[in-house]
């Protein structure tokens, strides 16, 4: 008798039935498991697909749609105190030209206006590019102070903007100077500093030199008269020409923005007819003041953000143009950033001095904020940052 036909080797009908049923169960369990794996894989693909879609902003329309940026939970990033006892403001950030893993920030500070007159100076700080919300302030700040021997800046200075001149390996520091006469006749000056071996350590008070022909822009002359004061400039270089956008004002003139051009960054000629942007209707975010501002280039456009005053509160507004000469188009989302309105936040009441930077493929809005009501002169201001969420644009 063959081995397989032996009765003791044969399975009973019931044994065969149970094995068949178990086999069906196993197959069903396998199918169910495979289905779960497949669903999980699809979910993972969907999640990663969404992240991939949201990992960056690729157009101006997406940039605009993503407004407002989301506040950093660790704000404020730089607090008032010491030489900047009233406020810290006007963040100007560059990639360290000698160390691409680091950033250098130039920023202004001032005494409390109501108590000490608001005398201002300029300091510096640094951060790792991978951690642009954590800044290390220079212990010997400030690095640039008002010069009592120079009339236009003998009372106070404020930071306007900073350019890195690769051809000279220098930082060019544009600033606003104010006299002590009390007439508010601000003007714009220039200081330069070699970057030094590491792009940071040698940027000190002793190494920063004032341009001998300061001020480089005044309210009168240079092609046009602009009230009694020019201040708070931002400068960009395009196609062989420097463009400076500045605020102007007079006793009976509300601050507006105009522009000038230069071939060397030192000698300027005022351009255009009147303001580059018109004020909003009464009560709107920018119906009163256009002041500190920052211009940058992105998405084949020139983009300008500025601090706007409605008569009640300070906010941030934005406009864009395909040419540095304009015309400029205001964002329909203005104001793109507003006070938090939340108790125990440093920027509950006001936000101002905005600057936007693209750092490691993310957009950061640096700004100053105040959480006290009343007159600007009685507030203390700290610096914060907010980050644009690309998923808001989708």
> Model confidence over 54-89: pLDDT tens digits?
789 999 999 999 999 999 999 999 999 999 999 999
pLDDT of residue 253: 75
pLDDT of residue 114: 55
* Full pLDDT tens readout for the chain, 394 residues: 333 333 333 344 334 344 444 444 445 444 444 444 434 443 333 333 334 457 899 999 999 999 999 999 999 999 999 999 999 999 999 999 999 999 999 999 998 765 666 689 999 999 999 999 999 999 999 999 999 999 999 999 999 999 999 999 999 999 999 997 656 689 999 999 999 999 999 999 999 999 999 999 999 999 999 999 999 999 999 999 999 999 999 877 788 999 999 999 999 999 998 899 999 999 899 999 899 999 999 999 999 999 999 988 999 999 999 999 999 999 999 999 999 999 999 999 999 999 999 999 999 999 999 998 766 667 899 999 999 999 988 7
Q: What is the gyration radius of the CA atoms in the chain, in angstroms?
A: 30
pLDDT of residue 343: 95
Q: At which of 39, 54, 69 does a domain end? A: 54
Tell me how far apart the alpha carbons of residues 226 and 222 are, in angstroms, rounded to a whole number.
10
Residues 244 and 320 placed together within one structural domain of the fold: yes
The boundaries of the domain holding residue 328 are: 60-393
Give the dihedral sign, CA 143/149/154/158. Answer: negative
Let me know how many helices (H) and strands (E) the chain has, helices first: 3, 20
Query: What are the structure tokens assigned to 88, written together?
Result: 């810290």
Q: At which of 14, 35, 54 does a domain end? A: 54
Residues 152 and 25 placed together within one structural domain of the fold: no
Residues 106 and 43 placed together within one structural domain of the fold: no
pLDDT of residue 113: 65
CATH of the domain at 324: 2.115.10.20
End-to-end, the C-alpha distance of the chain in Å comes to: 77
Q: CA separation (Å) from 63 to 68, 112, 301, 340, 364?
A: 10, 36, 12, 21, 12
Tell me how far apart the alpha carbons of residues 119 and 145 are, in angstroms, rounded to a whole number.
9
Q: At which of 11, 32, 54 does a domain end? A: 54
Contact (Cβ atoms closer than 8 angstroms) between residue 308 and residue 333:
no
Give the dihedral sign, CA 318/321/326/328. Answer: negative
103 sits in which H/E element = strand 102-110
38 sits in which H/E element = helix 13-54
Residues 30 and 86 placed together within one structural domain of the fold: no
Residues 47 and 94 placed together within one structural domain of the fold: no
Token pair 């005044």: residue: 218
Residues 24 and 98 placed together within one structural domain of the fold: no
pLDDT of residue 43: 39
Domain count, the chain: 2
Please tell me whether residue 230 adopts helix, strand or coil conformation.
Answer: strand
Residues 33 and 78 placed together within one structural domain of the fold: no
Residues 33 and 71 placed together within one structural domain of the fold: no
Residues 107 and 199 placed together within one structural domain of the fold: yes
Query: What are the structure tokens assigned to 391, written together?
Result: 């998923």
Tell me how far apart the alpha carbons of residues 39 and 57 are, in angstroms, rounded to a whole number.
30
Residues 35 and 67 placed together within one structural domain of the fold: no
The order of strands in the sheet holding 156-165 is 156-165, 170-178, 187-194, 209-210
Tell me how far apart the alpha carbons of residues 373 and 257 are, in angstroms, rounded to a whole number.
27
pLDDT of residue 117: 64
User: Dihedral (C-alpha) 191, 197, 202, 206: value to the nearest 10 degrees?
Assistant: -60
Residues 22 and 72 placed together within one structural domain of the fold: no
β-strand 362-370 against 301-309: which pairing, if any? unpaired
Q: How far is CA 52 from the centre of its chain?
A: 24
pTM: 0.86
Please enumerate in sequence order all residues whose Cβ is within 8 A of that of 52, keeping only pairs 6 or more positions apart, or say none.
none
pLDDT of residue 363: 98
Contact (Cβ atoms closer than 8 angstroms) between residue 352 and residue 368:
yes
Residues 33 and 100 placed together within one structural domain of the fold: no
């Amino acid at each position: 008798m063959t081995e397989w036909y032996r009765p003791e080797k044969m399975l009973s009908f019931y044994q065969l039935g149970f094995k068949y049923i178990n086999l069906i169960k196993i197959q069903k369990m396998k199918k169910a498991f495979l289905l779960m794996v497949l669903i999980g894989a699809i979910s993972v693909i969907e999640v990663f697909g969404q992240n991939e879609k949201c990992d960056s902003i690729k157009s101006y329309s997406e940039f605009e749609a993503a407004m407002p940026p989301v506040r950093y939970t660790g704000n404020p990033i730089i607090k008032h105190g010491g030489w900047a006892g009233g406020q810290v403001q006007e963040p100007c950030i560059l990639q360290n030209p000698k160390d691409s893993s680091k950033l250098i920030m130039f920023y202004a500070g001032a005494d409390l206006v109501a108590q000490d007159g608001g005398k201002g100076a300029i300091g510096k700080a640094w951060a790792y590019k991978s951690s642009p919300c954590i800044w290390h302030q220079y212990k010997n700040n400030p690095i640039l102070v008002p010069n009592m021997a120079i009339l236009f800046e003998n009372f106070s200075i404020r930071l306007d903007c900073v350019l890195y001149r690769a051809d000279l390996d220098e930082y060019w520091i544009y600033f606003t100077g104010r006299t002590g006469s009390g007439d508010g006749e601000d003007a714009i000056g220039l200081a330069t500093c070699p970057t030094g071996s590491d792009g940071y350590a040698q940027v000190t008070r002793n190494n920063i030199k004032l341009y001998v022909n300061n001020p480089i822009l005044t309210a009168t002359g240079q092609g046009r008269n602009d009230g009694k004061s020019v201040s708070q400039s931002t400068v960009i270089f395009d196609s062989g020409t420097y463009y400076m956008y500045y605020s102007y004002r007079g006793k009976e003139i509300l601050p507006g923005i105009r522009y000038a051009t230069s071939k060397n960054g030192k000698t300027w000629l005022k351009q255009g007819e009147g303001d580059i942007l018109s004020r909003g209707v009464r009560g709107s975010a920018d119906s009163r003041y256009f002041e500190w501002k920052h211009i940058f280039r992105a998405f084949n456009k020139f983009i300008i953000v500025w601090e706007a005053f409605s008569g009640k509160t300070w906010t941030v507004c934005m406009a864009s143009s395909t040419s540095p000469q304009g015309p400029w188009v205001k964002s329909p989302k203005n104001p793109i950033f507003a006070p938090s309105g939340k108790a125990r936040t440093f920027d509950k009441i006001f936000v101002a001095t905005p600057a936007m930077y693209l750092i490691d493929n993310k957009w950061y809005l640096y700004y100053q904020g105040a959480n006290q009501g009343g007159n600007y002169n009685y507030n203390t201001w700290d610096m914060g940052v907010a980050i644009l969420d690309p998923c808001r644009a989708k």
